Structure 1
Amino acid sequence: MLPLVICLSTVLIQGCTTSSKNDEPEYTIGFSQCIGSDEWRRTMLDEMKRELSFYPGVKLLYEDAEGNSKKQIGQVKEMLRKKIDLLIISPNEARPLTPVVEEAFNRGIPVIIIDRKISSNLYTSYVGGNNFEIGRIAAEYIAGKLNGKGKILEVMGLPGSSPAIERQRGFNEGISKYPGVHIAKQVYGNWLKREAEKEVAKVISAYQDIDVVFAHNDQMALGSYQALKRSLPASKIKIVGVDALPGASNGLRYVSDGILYASMLYPTGGKEAIRTALAILNHMPFDKENILKTLVVDSSNVQLMKLQSDKINSQQIDIERQQEMLEEQRKIYHNQQIFLNILVVSLVLAIVFGGVAFYALNENWKNNKALEIKNEEIIKQQQQLIEMSAKAKAASEAKFNFFTNISHEFRTPLTLIMTSLEDLFSDSRMTAGTRKHLYMISKNASRLLKLINQLVDFRKIEYDKMSISVSENNIISFISEIMSSFKEVAHKRNIDIRLVSRDKELNIWFDVNMLDKVIFNLLSNAFKFTNDNGRVLITISSKPEEGIAEIVIEDNGIGMSEEAVSHAFDLFYQGDTDRSKGSGIGLSLSREIVILHKGTVTVNSTKGKGTAFKITLPLGDNHIGQKEKIYGAGQYMPDEDTIRLYTAELKDSGLSDHHEETAIVTKEHSVLIIEDNDDMRQFLQEKLSEHYEVYTAANSTEGLHEAFEKIPDLIISDVVMPGQSGTQLTQILKNDIRASHIPIILLSARANPEQQLEGIKALADTYITKPFKIQFLLEAIRNLLNNRQLLRSRYTSELPVDARTSTSGKLDKKFLTVFSGIVESNISNENLNVEDICKSIGISRVQLYRKVKALLGCSVSEYIINKRLKKAKYLLLNEDLSIAEITYKVGISSPTYFSTLFKAKYGCTPSEFKRKNVAEKLIHS
């Protein structure tokens, strides 16, 4: 039964859609008009619609470009996307519109160009008047009326427009046939009545003796008439225009009323364009060039033209009325058809639904039974979920308790470490180097303790374990006390820190032991990311009308990117900066504490200009619960431990960087350290400087520059850095011929096997995880440099390059192959020099020298000399040539110099070497 119902419904839908399909247009024509605001182009559109009224199966899509070529191109492309059957276009400009017209034509869509042409012959048909012919006929008509003698004022259209140029050219040619008639003055009216009136008014006083004004359209002719009427009210100057459009405010009416003496009919071509379009769509004959004819409309024929126009308009109104009546009849027919279909289907459905109802009742009973069973299962599952949720809650509580306990356990050894360090600092016998190391330990222990405190506080807030105990306090004096803790750091770094407030006292309710964490953290960040000689400004203001107090902590430091600002308060988010990254906890904890106070904290920052954090706290105590209030709190004083935790990272060791002067020792090898953490970079530099020449870089950008500039023997790089990571840096260096030979060691706290594998895949030579032993790092460096020395010995052996099967990398092998090939091919060229080789390979002289030195252990010149001598040795053994001939074949200018070099290399002169080997051959033979 159900399939029968579906079948009947389908019949009804098909019956309804059949009628709607009949309403779909047979053809769709797109018409793009360059500008539709003037009366002539509105008449063109009216003619098209009037002609289309005879073809109800054709739909017209009309777009007005408003004189904008780019807009017209976009409109045409949209029409093409809608899959029109034919395009009619009046191009705003010829050259810019040519490509889109050609695109439509090449896609097989017929194109009719109307009024204005394009810069191509790729169109189907053209419909338009002959502007040159209009100008010529106007000239002959005017000359005839003047009996071959008189003066003319010509009011032209827009300068540079093709209709204005053609009409003026035709008019000039026509006037040239009458020597007694000449053009006294020409002005531009830009096709507008107002412009023409203004321009004619400017010149008419100087040309009062003119006989005729010829305007390039009727609107400019009307403007000329008004200028003459105002300046020369008694003048009998004849005015001739162009267009002769019907309508209350057009040329035909002006000629009829005697305002214009005559007007040249310029057909719009709207009717002809539609007729041509339908001929093309119906595959009927048509002309590619449809040039519309013109005639002169004056007092002799204007009434006849008006009668024809009125008759056409009357007929059009009758046609539209008949079409409306036909449309009404069609709607009535469609409605009756739909009603009949519904009635038939309803009768059938009434019969069918009886059986369906019984079937449905039976199925409903079965479904109810199945639902009862499912409900029982769902109730059991809900009970299981409740039990599991309770267990998960208990497990979470246990994890939180464990986390809290272990965090407290961390505090005990950290406290012992820091206390012991304080005792050691008091020992006057300690050397400066030892004091510097101890200070680094103390600084990082303080940082670790601060992180643990922040984690514990954040976890308490997250599990709703932390509540606030608020009291009424003076926020200005509170922040002043905290600010004073940073005075020493500000003085040493010459940072100007100020507090500005119009109020001397501002009392609000807050928890001093909670809000101080927020202020300390924001001030610590401001100092951390502000350069020496910078500025930190704290502004406190009261806004009673909004019921809030505002605290703004602003610096002129390095600022943050847009992405970093959007994630600033996210937990564990670390923005990319040029300084050491934070933990991503402090700002998130600060926001939670401010929220506990029913306030808000926001950030505004610009990269390179600075950062401003704004805290808003409510005034009064309406937002505070009674249990959260405490009374009679004393004045706030920050404790020394808190000050030390938040300022430890901002201070240096207090020790001078001056070292005892020692003799300068040139190191054999150089190492580049790329590390964004200042402490780690300085530590590595200090430890490696005993053995190697050390260069340093604070980020990947500086690291790349130093690597290409210095060409070190080995590179040590951190993995997680601002900008490009260490693995990305490794890939860049290993794929660049200038640095591909340099061994790279990656240091990282990312100890997962997958992360280590990622570093090795990036072509790193060694991956060492933090924490590491410095002795292990030194041995790794020593082994890599020794391996590089073994490879160098292999490359400088007597074996030819092609015989070597293993290299330190594909780029190194390619470099040596190219380098050796250049030397081999130029072995006889005594003028071969380093500059020639650099140009052939495409690297600088310094880079070539360092690359060859690193791979082969010798200079470029030494390598070339060795190649020449090896070639000479081969020729002495295998060719019957004189010493002089061999000298020139291996590119050495002087036989004497050749003998000197050969003896220094092989211990005997070339002649002795040749005699000795000839004697040995005779003995063996």
Structure 2
Amino acid sequence: MKRIFQILISIFVLVWLNACHRKSEPAFTIGFSQCGMDDRWRVEMVESMNRELSFYPESSMILKDARWNNQTQINDIENFIAQKVDLIIVSPNESLILQPVIEKAFQQGIPVIVVDRRIYSSQFTAFVGASNYLVGKNAGEYANILLNGKGHILEIGFGPTSTPSIDRHAGFLHAINQHTGLHIDEYYNRNWSQEQWGAVLKDYLKKKPTSVDLIFLHNDRSANHCYKICKELGLEKKIKIIGVDGSVGEDLGLDLVQKGKINATILYPSGGEEAIQIAMKILKKQPYHKENELFSTVIDAKNVSIMLAQHQKIKEQQEDIKRQVTKIQDLTRIFSFQRNTLYLTLFFLLMVLSLGGVLFYLLREKQKSNLILEQQNHAILAQKNEIERISQLAKQATEDKLRFYSYISHEFRTPLSLILTPTEDILHRKSGDVKETRQAFQLIYKNANRLLRLVDQLLELRKVDAGKMELELQQRDLIAFVKEIVTDFNLKAKTQHIDLQFICPFKTLPFWFDAEKLDKVFFNIISNAFKYTPEGGSIHISLLKNIEKIEILISDNGIGMSKEEKDRAFDLFYRGNQNISLGTGLGLALSREFVCLHQGEIEVDSQKGKGTTFKIILPIINPSPNAEATEKVVEKPYLREVLEPKVVADTETLQLHDNTVVLIEDNQDLNLFLRKKLENSYNTVAVETAEKGWEEILKNIPDLIISDVMLPEMDGFSLTQKIKNDFRTSHIPVILLTAKGQMESQIEGTKAGADAYIAKPFNQQLLEEKIKGLLENRDRMRRRFSSEITNPSQIQKNERKFLVEFELLIEKNIKDSSLSVEKLSKELGMSRVQLFRKISALTNKNVTDYIADFKLLKAKALLKESDKTIAEIAYETGFNNPSYFTTFFKQKTHQTPSEWRNS
């Protein structure tokens, strides 16, 4: 037994040692025939192949360098065929000479990948390389850019039978022939040394130092030598140089471009990695493409830094890959050792089967422990998720509160503007008008009360949240109570032509309720209905009762709500329509709380564009025995917004002043206040919506526009963009007034094209100075360009397009003697008045003078630059009579056309 055990141990040790020393033979052998290795570009090709091969440890590559000798390269490929390698990669020196041996390898069943240079046959497996034709074409197109479409070019190739030289010249010639101003004066292409072609180039430049504007060389090494020759002759700054390869290294493509020695190099990727990738697909019987064209591009001073940075990054990554491969190899050796050690361990484990039971027991215990740990992990994960959910809810609630208080701050700004601005105006008055001062104090008083109402609503909500709000129930006639509230809206309904009705089958209805709180509920909801119901609409309030409850329906046919707005209508921190007053959202939230205090419910049903219905359900409350059962009670005074008929701004303004201003402000008080202030100095057209404002802007073509940002439907930002994007109005300065004073809002207004951005509450004097300054700047620009109508580049950028289109239209119709303002305005899609005001605002000239001056400049150019007769020029510039043309010309220039031509 002991002898058998010793034999088994010896056998196992021998097997283990044999496994440790066994080396895996490569599954595939690749033969690579390189035409030459004396330049950095081909060295990079081999390096990239070796890097890619490191990912395929089952493969190896045999490299043969032909040293630019065709016969040597043929012999190398013959040797690969004889060795029966699995695949051959060939970078041919000369395609025609190498083609037969490549076809031989292919016919004997060996896959052949041709890289860099094509052969004139289809008997190869795959091609990998950049298009030399595209390289030449890119060089030609970039030469056109460097020379601005005009210049003389010298091209130097390095192999008349080499496919790269042939294709690069063809692509370069094709690109140059697209531009009539470019000429290739000489194309040298020979199998010559650097000294030979350098001597030819130096001799050529000495004979014709000023006739060469650009030299295109087929590789970067030659481009570097060309630069040295140009520098020696003092022509390095005059002659532009383009090379090919885009290699990285001292005095190679990217380094030459970065140092400014050459103007550009055309990237010509080596394709080493791609060749190995295709080779492995072929060997592993995977799908592949026969034609694999590599990307090529122009590298100049603009992108050379990026290319160098990318190359450096790739180089670092490649070094990291090398380190990782080395580490993997080390780990593989360790794994092999550990695997064999494991075999030995298992062998010995067979000898200690008695320990199996103990190990099984331990395994079972470990499984139980893992199960317990897994359950604990699940519990911890569930707790973590719940904490994250609660944290997210708390974060959202905090954000909602901050956003709400930010909105409330904005809501305070408009009434503050109507308090501070009139106050400042009174303080700066030198003499007091009693009537005007009283109106200002009324405006201040009204807006102070408005601020107080907002503060009271916030305090009431706080009381509700704290549970300190209590009902003061009194028995009253609910029908008379609701009817009184509806009656308060009659004047407003009549002014806005709204059908307001209160529908109820009962004459009286005694009910216990808190009058102050329900008054605010009904008033808020009916006020909202008026805000969002257009003129000519309808608002119906109906009251129904059964044994257990009372239902009040408030319906309108206004703009309605979207599903999201309806679902969150009573949410204190939600604001669906950014252009709606925040008093609305606050009022609805407070209304819901007051209804809930009455143990009732409030619901909303709405569809976008079809109207909204609020349903208030109040249960019939049995009061406590101590409650006062009387209808004649003294109400506690409380604030409620005073109803006023809608003020319709007067858009028909008498033209008493030089400048016209369109004012767009939806707050009636602020609209009226600003209009009165502006009417003293400007013709003022005041409206309340952006849509009406746009109509007035197109109608009047004003000199300046003042607009609020927070407007119903279209806001001030959108209106400003519309004004600046329409060529009829793009010249008009825009001032935005807003309660949004944050930097983000100011940036948004500036992006929209606003010329000034003033936050509420604002200083009236500041506003007036802004208006004055913008109008004076517009007038200075108009005077400045009044004599430069044919030079649109002098006009600010957003007006150039209009003037260019206008002058192109005149140019198109210049021969038409009947050319008129009406015809031009029709062609431009605008009215005669709009065209007149637009041209006058930009150039301080009327349209007729503009056309006349344009014809005069055209005539001057024809007199100087052509041999046409005076009569021909007269007809060509739209004059029916040459004698009238002569008279017109002399009036404008104090010279006859002949005298002008000869001067």
TM-score, normalization by structure 2: 0.49
TM-score, normalization by structure 1: 0.48
Choose between structure 1 and 2 for higher RCO, CA contacts under 8 A separated by at least 6 residues: 2
